[in-house]
Structure formats: structure tokens, C-alpha cells
Structure 1
Amino acid sequence: MSASHPLWSKRSLTAQAMGHVDPITKAVVPPIHVATTYIRDEDNAYSSGFVYGRPDNATVREAEAVLAMLEEADAGALLFSSGMAAATAVFQALEPGDHVVASKVMYWALRNWLATEATRWGLSVEFVETDDLDALRRAVVPGRTKLVWVETPSNPLWTITDIAAAAEIAHAAGARLAVDSTTASPVHTRPLALGADIVMHAATKILNGHSDVVAGALAGAKADAFWNRVVSIRKMQGAILGPFEAYLLMRGMRTLHLRAAAQARSAMLLAERLGDHPKVARVLYPGLPQHPGHDVAARQMEGGFGYMLSIQLTGGEAAAVRTAARVGLWKRATSLGGVESLIEHRASIEGPGTPCPPDLLRLSTGIEDVNDLFTDLDEAMRAA
């Protein structure tokens, strides 16, 4: 029976990459198509649907189909050469003079781009605490605001924005809502189903899950003029993902449900245990009942609260830096969402102007034994 059966779950469809079987070899793993150019028909048309490698590729299309299925994206999905390429394409699709409202706490590189480079495109950008709906309403100006950009859970403080409420605010003002759902993944949150117009992923992270691909993705609710503008930007700027990277991304997504569930369970266990640790002043994780956004997260996240958490140490910045220097199983490295657990002192990475407290360590939970992860962190904190 075909893997496109309407009763098959997303987990089953993802595990089989939509059930693709190579028509020539009958291989269950889709091949990598690396061609950059294609034969024209005798009438000079392209009946194959492929013209040139810069705007399109068969391997990329297959990975996009898996993501579009996961996000229930009627407009489909687009893969980009990086998360930043995907995110900035959305802003570049706006018109000069358009007003943008964005989460104050978000991925530092995008925040920096919006604060510096976006003005060169003629955009007006306002940063607000989007988890504060009253603040969001005050910032969104009917007729002037054209895009609301929300990151939830927000990196690295893990605040939660109510996606459905943010969509209502944006749409009432004639604006679109785009959601960076990188740290939630389609397994735990589906922003389009909650009213968002576009969902973005740094696919480098948990979608791939193996720290060996740099990629970005967008999924759209509706193939309207704005979405088509984004499609055109990717085509003309050559920001498409390479075929080998698309192949690796698709390979990673086939185990997404298993990894995301396991990593969320470990993150929850770590958050609970670290909350009672004498060296920990505060645990930031939306799965904890005392987290300010817990109720909203419980409503819009499914099967867990994600794989990311942060801790603030009683010993302040010095203790945080020393702890990161003393871990063994945890790896001191940037990024998140891989099968290996990562730890990072974010304030020193982001530099001046960061909203990240200096005593904070960001933790990306992998698939190692959670008891080993706790023991390693416990020993490092006590030694620091």
C-alpha cells in the first residue's frame, strides 16, 4: 500500500520520506540528483519540470515535500542554504518603508541583521516582548505594520509567545505573522495550524539533528503574492540548498519524531532535577509549571516542551564560565538540536547589547543517557 495513504500518521510518512521508491533501481532511499542543467524538449520546453540547478532540484523538492507535510503547508516549503538566508528572504519580500514588529529575544544573528542591515532595505523594525500581548498590540500599527516576526520558544530565555493570539493581532492590523519555530520543531508545534502565515526553521538544528548540514526552511500557509515573492527571491538570489545537503537533511528528518521526543523527555528531566540543585539559581524551561509561559506552551506544544533549556548559576558569570570549561560529556559549542548535548555561555558569544544574563548557560539536550548528562553537569558546577 502506498505511503501516501490518508490514514498514515506524520511519523510514518516522515520515517519513509513520503514513501518514495526510486523508479529505476527500486531503492527505498531517494537518490541524490546533482545535475545543474536539463535537456529541453524538441519544442524548446521543459516537460520534466526542471530547467536549471539554481532555482530547483529534484532532491531538494523531495525534502521540501516532507517538511510541507509536517507543517501542513498548503503553499509548500522552500529550502535555503542557511537559516539566515531563509529568514532574511521573508524580510526582503517586504516593501521599503514597511514596519516590522519582532521578538526582542531571538536568535542573535537575525536580531543583529534586523537592527543593522534591515534599515538599508528601508524597513522600520521595532523589537518588543512578544510574549506580552498588550505590548504586542501597542507595537502593531494598523495599515503600517506589514509583518510580525515571532520566535517561540525564544532563544536563549525560552519565553513563550501565544501564536494564535499573535496571529489575531497581526491579521487585525493587516499584517502577516511569521514564526521561527526552530526550537520547537514540527513535532511539538505547528504554527500554521495556529494561524501563522509563514513558519521558519534553521534546519541546521533539530530537523537535521546531526550537526553536519547548514540549511534553512520556510513553509507557507497560502501561495499568495507575498509567498510567490519569497519564491522569486530564492530563485534570483541563488539561495537554494545544495542537493547533497538536502539529501542529508531528508535523512535526518526520517528520525525526527524519535529524536525530538527523546530529547524533550531528557530536557524535562534535567529541568526538574536542576531546579533543586544548590548551584542553580533559576531554570528556564517552558515545561516547568512555574515558567511564566507554561500554560500557553501546554496549549500550543504537543508531546513535550522542546529540547532546549537554560540555567542561571548562583555563582554568577564566573561560575557559569568555569562550569562550561569543566564539562566532559556536554560539548562546549555553538548550535543546538543535534544528537550530542551542547553547552554554551551565550552572553560572551553574543557580546554587547545581548539580552542574555551573564550568569546563564544555554543547554541543548541530545540523546545521551540523561543521568550521565546530569552527573557531568553536576560535577562541573560543583568544581566551579
Structure 2
Amino acid sequence: MHFQTLLVHGHEKPDKTYNAVIPPIYLTTTYRSEKFGKRERFGYSRGNNPTRAYLEGLIAELEGAKHGFAFSSGMTAIAASLAVLKSGDQVLVTKNVYGGTVALLDGFFKDFGLSYELIDMSDLNQLERAFNEKTKAVLIESPSNPLLDITDIEAVSRAAKKRGIITIVDNTFLSPYLQRPLELGADIVVESATKFFSGHSDVIAGTAATNDDGLAGKIGAYQRLAGGIAQPFDIYLLVRGLKTLSVRIDRQVENAGKIVEFLQNNPGIDKIYYPGLAEHPGYAINQRQSKSPGSMVSFLLNPAYNIAVFFDSLRYITPGASLGSVETLIQHPATGSHATFSPEQRKQAGITDNLIRLSAGIENLNDLIEDLEQALKKSIGKNSD
């Protein structure tokens, strides 16, 4: 079955009782035991739920995995993946990774003895030098958030496996429609399902998948015991969103490419970060490991333009957190997604005050270009001293 068909029809009949086309929503918290002392598949919904089981089976199929898990948020999925490690372990992390991931490591896992180091994952020599006896995991974002650095997932996974180190890939920016990290050698793939999976800015959820039975056991135990589970009605919305994942992403990628062309020819833009450009350092690697460069674009606004006026002048493009939705979203990473980074961490990661991140939506392209153009015109020469 091709990916697009799997998205629409699912991996199994969603309702074996009444043949409903849409998976039923099981809101029950508990289940009647058929016989005293018999352990049923479904007993208490923190442990398992038919609605969640359907989604998790679908996630496994989409990611090319044996085991899929659905969580209450993308951050919970990352936490569950990091929870396979132990006190004293170290994880090497993409240097301009999502700020929330670093905040999780600093604000939670640090107290439990898990250390981390931010490194340039696109530089294999730097990665090799960073490995030490405490390193037990590598956490990759490719493309990274927000500078869209590309990591050779296959090469990093191979280097890690030689040392018994696991590779975790946050695949949120591309989704399994455009990139399948497990097929490239990664051990765990996580997605913020809030983003492209949902696609409509109305669900908070996360997913994880793996082919490793041992890792699956630890992730499943964390899910069951910590209780950070995706809820049935959210899963219903998520399954509905997944049906249009491929057509949404196709349109978003098309819009992103045209927006990049516009930005390339505008004097207000000093630099563009987009893996679809031949001059991007990771262009060749991304071409090899992904179906397309995706629909995320970052760029530097010329200092002669007032960034606040630019944001406040936008009419259709929505300033706000998140990405991957039908509406085009735009964000200032230094005060948004990476506000939790220290100034030193932002400097190390290359996140400057004039950096802007844009997630292309599915609107009419001419409206988006017109919106960017008028906002740039209004913001030129209005910087305060």
C-alpha cells in the first residue's frame, strides 16, 4: 500500500464491530473484566485504549516501525525517548535544536543526572570528537529548528552504533511523508504531532516509533506509568488530520519554494536558510535522505528594517508559535521558540535577533507574497536608535 493510501484508509479496519469508516472514540476509562483474574488487552485506559491503539498501529506503519506510541504532546514524546537513558549518561544534541528540548534537559533531566552537549551534527568530525564513555544517545533534528541545518542521519547512526549509542531523530519538520529516519538507521523517531500530523492548529499531541523491542519496552513503560497519553478525542482529530497530510505538505512545499524565490530577490533579506537551495551546505545530503526540502524557511531581516513593524504589519501570515498547519505561521525565534536559550546558547547556535522562521501554509501564494511585500515596505527605515 502506498503512503497516501495508508493515510486515508489506515492500517486496519477501524471498527470491526459495526464497520464504521472512521475509528470510534472510546471515552471509557475502565473496562469490564470478562472473567475473574483474566488479564484483558484493555483494562484501564492509561495503559491502553482502543482509539489510541488504532493510532499507534497507524503511526508504526507510517514510520516503518514495529512499535508506535501516542503521547499528550511532542515534548512528552521527547521525554519518553530520553527516559530510556540512565543517570550519568550523556546525550549529544543538534546545536540549534528546538528550545523546548534544551529547556527539558536543563529543567528536568539535569536533576536526574542526565547531561548533554550541543554540537554541530552536520560536522561528523566534531561528532566523533564529542563521543566519550558517558555518551549513550545522539538526538538529531534534521532539518534543525530554526536554522534548517541538515544532518546525515545514516552516517551519524552508523557512527553511533559502532559505540553502542542510540540515535533519536526529531522528524517534526518533515514528517514520515518526506523523511523516514528509521530506514536511515535511527533507533527512535519522534514527531510533534501538533504540527504536520494534525495540520489544523487544534491538537496537542506527540508520537514516537522504534523497531527495537527493548527501547519500545522502556518507552511503553514511561507512557503507561507517567500517563502522558494522547486522549481519545484528540486522537480522533489527529487521525482526521493525517488523512490529508500528503496533499497539505505537497501544497506547503510548493508555496515555500515560491516564497524563497521572492525572498531571494528582496533587498530586505540578508540571508535565507532553506535546504532546497543548491548553495545550502546540506543540500546534497537532504536530496539523498528526504523526498523534498520541506516547507520551513528561515531568513535574516536586514538591519535597516524594523522587525517589530514587519511582524505587526502582516495581514494574512499569522505571527505565533507552532508550524506545519494549513495557515502560514511566522515566528521570531530569539523571543519565541528559543527564548529559553541563554544568550551564550543562542550565540553558539547562530540564533540572532534578526532571524525569522516561517512555516508555509496552503493559502493562495499570491496573497502570501503580497503580504510579505507590503510588510517589508512598511518596516523599512523605521528602526529606533
TM-score of the aligned structures, taking structure 2 as reference length: 0.93
Partner of 1:164: 154
Aligned-pair Cα RMSD in Å: 1.4
Q: Distance in 1 between matches of 2:290 and 2:197?
A: 17
Quick check: 1:183–1:308 contact (8 Å CA) kept in 2? yes
1:275 aligns with 2:275: no
Contact 1:346–1:361 (CA under 8 A) maintained in structure 2? yes
Retained in 1: the 8 A contact 2:174–2:294? Answer: yes
Q: Do residues 329 (structure 1) and 316 (structure 2) align?
A: yes
Contact 1:87–1:200 (CA<8 Å) still a contact in 2? yes
Higher mean C-alpha displacement, 355-364 vs 21-30: 21-30
Spell out the pairing of 1:51-200 with structure 2 (5 A cutoff): 51-74=43-66, 76-141=67-132, 143-200=133-190
CA contact (8 A) 2:124 2:156 kept: yes
What is the letter of the counterpart of residue 279 of structure 1?
Answer: G
Q: Within 1, Cα distance between the matches of 2:13 and 2:373?
A: 46
Instruction: Determine whether 1:313 maps to 2:301.
Output: yes
Give the Cα–Cα distance (whole angstroms) in 2 for the partners of residues 117 and 29 of structure 1.
38
Q: Name the CA distance, whole Å, in 1 between partners of 2:110 and 2:249.
A: 37
TM-superposed CA distance for 1:265, in Å, is 1.4
| 1:232 positional shift | 0.4
1:10 to 3, 15, 31: 3
The corresponding residue for 2:37 is 44
**Equivalent residue number for residue 3 of structure 1:** none
Aligned partner (choices 24, 41, 44) of residue 31 of structure 1: 24
Give the direction of change, closer, same or farther, for the CA distance of 1:41–1:92 in structure 2 (3 Å limit). same
- Which string of whole-angstrom CA distances, capped at 9 and with x for unpartnered residues, describes residues 66-101 of structure 1? 111111002x11011111111011222211101211
- In the alignment, the residues of structure 2 paired with residue 264 and residue 81 of structure 1 have an alpha-carbon distance, to the nearest angstrom, of 27
1:378 to 2:366 alignment: no
Identify the residue that residue 382 of structure 2 maps to in structure 1.
Answer: none
Note the C-alpha offset of 1:166.
Answer: 0.6
Query: SS of the counterpart of 1:219?
Result: strand
Q: What amino acid does structure 2 have at the position aligned with 1:217?
A: T
Checking the alignment, whether the CA contact within 8 Å between 1:10 and 1:69 is kept in structure 2 is no
Percent identity between matched residues is: 37
8 A contact 1:333–1:344 mirrored in 2: yes
Deviation for aligned residue 1:24: 3.5
| Alignment check: 8 A CA contact 1:83 1:202 kept | yes
Is residue 2:273 matched to residue 1:252?
Answer: no
AA at the equivalent of 2:21: V
Partners of 1:21 and 1:206 lie apart in 2 by: 22
The CA deviation at 1:321 is 2.4
The alignment status of 1:264 with 2:257, answered yes or no, reads no
Give the equivalent residue in structure 2 for 1:4: none
**Secondary structure in structure 2 of the residue aligned to 1:377:** helix
TM-superposed deviation, 1:21: 4.5
Q: Secondary structure at the match of 2:230?
A: coil
Aligned to 2:383: none
Question: Residue in 2 aligned with 1:358?
Answer: 353
Query: Residue 14 of structure 2 contacts residue 24 of structure 2 at CA under 8 Å; is this kept in 1?
Result: no
1:225-253 per-residue CA deviation (whole Å, 9 max, x = no partner) reads x3211110110011111111111111111
In 1: Cα distance, 2:123 partner to 2:369 partner: 33
Matches within 5 A, 1:215-254: 215-224=205-214, 226-254=215-243
Q: Distance in 1 between matches of 2:180 and 2:16?
A: 32
Confirm or deny that 1:213 pairs with 2:203: yes
SS of match in other structure, 1:273: helix
Using the alignment, how far apart are the partners of 1:310 and 1:133 within structure 2? 24
Once the two structures are superposed, what CA deviation does each residue of 1:327-371 show, in whole Å capped at 9, x if it has no partner? Answer: 001011100001000111111223343342111111011100112
Aligned to 1:361, what secondary structure does the other structure show?
strand
The answer to whether the Cα contact below 8 Å between 1:39 and 1:46 also exists between their aligned partners in 2 is: no
Task: Work out the CA distance in 2 between the residues paired with 1:61 and 1:370.
Answer: 38
Q: What amino acid is aligned across from residue 319 of structure 1 in structure 2?
A: N
Q: TM-score, normalised by structure 1?
A: 0.94
Structure 1, residues 198-230: CA drift from partner, whole Å, max 9, x if none? Answer: 001011000110110000110102212x32111
Q: Distance in 1 between matches of 2:12 and 2:225?
A: 31
Taking the aligned partners of 1:144 and 1:174, their CA distance within structure 2 comes to: 11
**8 Å CA contact 1:321, 1:345 repeated in 2:** no
Structure 1 residue runs without a partner (length 5+) = 1-7
For the Cα contact (< 8 Å) 1:13–1:19, is it kept in 2? Answer: no
